[in-house]
Structure 1
Amino acid sequence: MKALSAHRHHPMAYLVILLIALVATGGLYAAFQPRPAQAEEYSAQDVEAGRALFLANCATCHGTEATGLRDSDGNTIGPSLVGVGAAAVDFQVGTGRMPMQASGAQAARKPPQMNEEQTRQLAAYVASLAPGPSVPAEEYLSGGDPAKGGEIFRVNCAMCHNAAGAGGALTRGKYAPPVVGLEPRHVYEAMVTGPQNMPVFDDSNLSPEDKRDVIAYLNSLEENGSPGGLSLGSLGPVTEGLYAWTIILTLLMGTAFWLGAKAK
């Protein structure tokens, strides 16, 4: 204790205290931060096979080094994939959105061009370029609380995807796609990567458990169906009013013509 007291006024004492505080803060942050929902690690063979697939199928738009390409006017042909992580590749390729068949306002969902093993290898290559969101572990794709997930979905997602998950129109030809009936893995990946116009919901916004609850809510929508009968697309009063007026006006006009013809 006397030795420490003798050095407490040393010029380096404050620097040592600052370093100790920084180390302690970093240690506490590492201990209490959310555990990443990572599914697996990739081998060197996976990365090499993924690079070959990338050069054959993706480099035309994203560049041979996946850093993106622009045309002569500076418009983006394909964005950089450095740092998007394996989750972005698994979502885009696994849902058939990539590779794109044609340019458009946004990539549409279609049957996947690559099988699961090829998708996994391509994800391994992109994940090797820089840290990014990983494919979620199975434990975060099942279970969960549908009631809590419904609350989270209505606050964060319903304004674009509709409270029933039926999707909706956005601006400039873009749209929020339906989110019912999807693979739970792809729903999770969409939340952590933010495809198209969707915002990113990382673990600081929604924890892995929150995302699992959202998936449980969407699964419950699919299982329960439409308890009120014909859903009319679940698009709300606009569609319901259109159907009602169309049917009612048709019946009224038909009745008027029938009565007029009968009177003659």
Structure 2
Amino acid sequence: MAREKKHRSRGRRSPLAAAALIGAGLLLTGGAYAGATAAIASTSDTQTSAQAELTVDDGQKLFTANCATCHGLDMQGTPEGPSLIGVGELSVEFQLATGRMPLQMQGPQAPQKSPQFTEEQIHAMAAYVHSVAPGPEYPQDWVTAGEANPEDASDEVSISHGAELFRINCAMCHNVAAAGGALTEGKYAPALTSTSALHIYAAMVTGPQNMPVFGDMNLSTEDKRDIIAALIFQQQEVQVGGFTLGSLGPVSEGLFIWIFGIGALVALTVWITAKSN
């Protein structure tokens, strides 16, 4: 009897072959993705390096494209925006870095939001505006760092003095805990619980929106330094008194007692009455 030959089926493949094929596909896809990511990162680094070299001329181009519509090509202002003559680099940096400018929409007050420009672009525009319309400049490092004036041997940083000055000059709007507060006509004083030292100084010097300008006749540079040191200390201080309730004082505390305290007493009274009946 003739022996039958066994033929291997050509239509089937080993499961290992399928797994190997999938693995090879994943490796190729991963390699392509890694290469593309590296190329994009390299391009981004190159762009960042180029942005770090922005000049006053670059600032002028950015200003013309983004700011001149409201403030005018000559910075004299238009019906849509005020003049920038004399605002200086410090005001420009403050408005752009806090996202208040460019203005999103007309309203009682420009809200703080994420900045539209990079730090290098902001500095370039600030340098351009300052070159055309000089004004308040960036402070010396010791002011925002909360350090003593190196030119005055008798100068000392005083957080307690800064807190006292803040209560006298700022707390009526910003709240004694720097939590902010409401003003008239839909305006408000923003919270200072996360504001940087530079922007605290800029607000005191340039007086944005409803903020008054505190010149050297009102507060010396050392006084401003002490206020900044007090606010930064308050930002970093750990709250040990339980719930802050927004740091709004008697308003939030009274509301909490009225709702939860009296509410609990009423509920207890109802429960006792129901049990007795």
TM-score (norm 2): 0.73
2:182 matched residue in structure 1: 169
Aligned counterparts of 1:80 and 1:46: Cα–Cα separation in 2: 23
Q: Paired residue for 1:49? A: 58
Contact 2:67-2:102 at 8 Å conserved across structures: yes
Query: Where do residues 1-264 of structure 1 align in structure 2 (5 Å cutoff)?
Result: 46-70=55-79, 77-143=80-146, 144-264=157-277
* Long gaps (5+) in structure 2: 1-53, 147-156
CA contact (8 A) 1:57 1:99 kept: yes
SS in 2 for 1:68: coil
Q: Assess if the C-alpha contact under 8 Å between 1:194 and 1:201 holds in 2.
A: yes
> Matched residues in 1 for 2:140 and 2:121: separation?
19
Q: How far has the Cα of 1:46 moved from its partner?
A: 2.5
- Stretches of structure 1 that go unaligned for 5 or more consecutive residues are 1-44, 71-76
**Counterpart of 1:221 in structure 2: which amino acid?**
Q
Residue 260 of structure 1: how far off its partner (Å): 4.1
Structure 1: 4+ residue segments shifted above 6 A: none
Whole-angstrom CA distance in 1 between matches of 2:105 and 2:273: 54
Partner letter of residue 198 of structure 1?
M
Q: Compute the displacement of 1:209 (Å).
A: 1.4
Letter in 2 for 1:214: I
Q: Give the total of aligned pairs.
A: 214
Q: CA deviation at 1:113?
A: 0.9
Q: Distance in 2 between matches of 1:202 and 1:180?
A: 23
For 2:171 and 2:76, the matched residues in 1 are separated by: 34
- The structural deviation recorded for 1:117 is 0.4
Give the 3-state SS of the residue equivalent to 1:233 in structure 2. Answer: helix
Deviations 1:178-200 (A, max 9, x none): 11221111111111000111100
Cα deviation, residue 245, structure 1: 0.7
Residue 123 of structure 1: CA displacement? Answer: 0.5
SS of equivalent residue, structure 1 residue 204: coil
SS in 2 for 1:251: helix
Asked if structure 1 preserves the Cα contact closer than 8 Å seen for 2:89 and 2:134, the reply is: no
CA–CA distance in structure 2, aligned partners of residues 182 and 197 of structure 1: 17
Q: What's the RMSD between the two structures over aligned residues?
A: 1.5
User: Would you say the 8 A contact 2:84–2:133 is kept in 1?
Assistant: no
TM-score when normalising by structure 1? 0.77
> If you compute each CA radius of gyration, which structure gives the higher value, 1 or 2?
2
- Percent identity over paired residues: 54
Q: In the aligned structure 2, how far is the partner of 1:130 from the partner of 1:110?
A: 26
Which residue pairs with 2:28 in the alignment? none
C-alpha contact 1:90 1:135 (8 A) present in aligned 2:
no
Q: Which has the higher contact order (CA 8 A, sep 6+)?
A: 1
